[in-house]
Amino acid sequence: MAGATLALALAGKAVASGVRFESKVVRLTVQPDAINEPLQWKCTNGTEIPLVVERFEQGCGCLAGAVRDVEIAPGKTGAIEAKFTPGPYRGLVRKSLHVRFVGFEKPVELVAEVTIPSTVELSARDLLWEADDRSSKVIEIEAGTKTDFRITGLVGVEESQFKLEQEILVAGRHYRLSLTPQDGVSPGHHVLQVRTDSPDRRDQVLAVFLKVEAPSGKEGAS
């Protein structure tokens, strides 16, 4: 029994120092409606014992571990696999999967950095003008997925405050919006709503925050 305990202890030390991952961080892009998108971390067993996954520990249901190789023999290369479902997540998401190996004293942390595009992507959400600046600023509005969309409205700012000019570069895919403060623009904060017919309700009303600095010594409306 003592010999078995010693062997297990030695195995734990060997696994900790002998498992080599090509990278513990995997980067990928998935569509917002994806379900169980596969990903994997390749590793080589540099120990003298088979490498066996005991269990996965995950803090989010969006990332679930899966065992492709029942065991990885000494000197062989295998992979730890997982499935990712974005659900409500958008943008860049970083999720961890902790893997416990038999004989491994501590879990190994594997990371998935996943980019989930929106159906409608805006090149800017915040625009700032100095007090006397009347230059035009441009926002590119593009399809982030394969789904086309149209801009159905631009609301929230008055013509006396900003001049809005919309250009269609590729119908359904790429629009350009130019915003120019007018001479009568009120210093302070303004909010423009870009409305679309995107099938994703989260992209049907997109807010753009506009700020015009007040002249020196004066405060604008917030």
**pLDDT per residue as tens digits for the range 177-194:** 999 999 989 999 999 999
CA distance 122 to 207: 10
Contacts of 100 (CB under 8 A, 6+ apart): 53, 54, 55, 56, 57, 107, 108
- Helix (H) or strand (E) segment spanning residue 2: helix 2-18
Residue intervals of the chain classified under CATH 2.60.40.10 are 2-116, 120-212
Instruction: Judge: domain 120-212, CATH 2.60.40.10.
Output: yes
> Domain 2-116 belongs to what architecture?
Sandwich (2.60)
pLDDT at 147: 93
Q: Which of 196, 192, 186 is nearest to 221 (CA)?
A: 186
**Section 48-73 average pLDDT:** 87
Q: Which of 23, 18, 151 is nearest to 79 (CA)?
A: 23
pLDDT tens-digit profile of 89-117?
A: 999 999 999 999 988 888 999 999 999 99
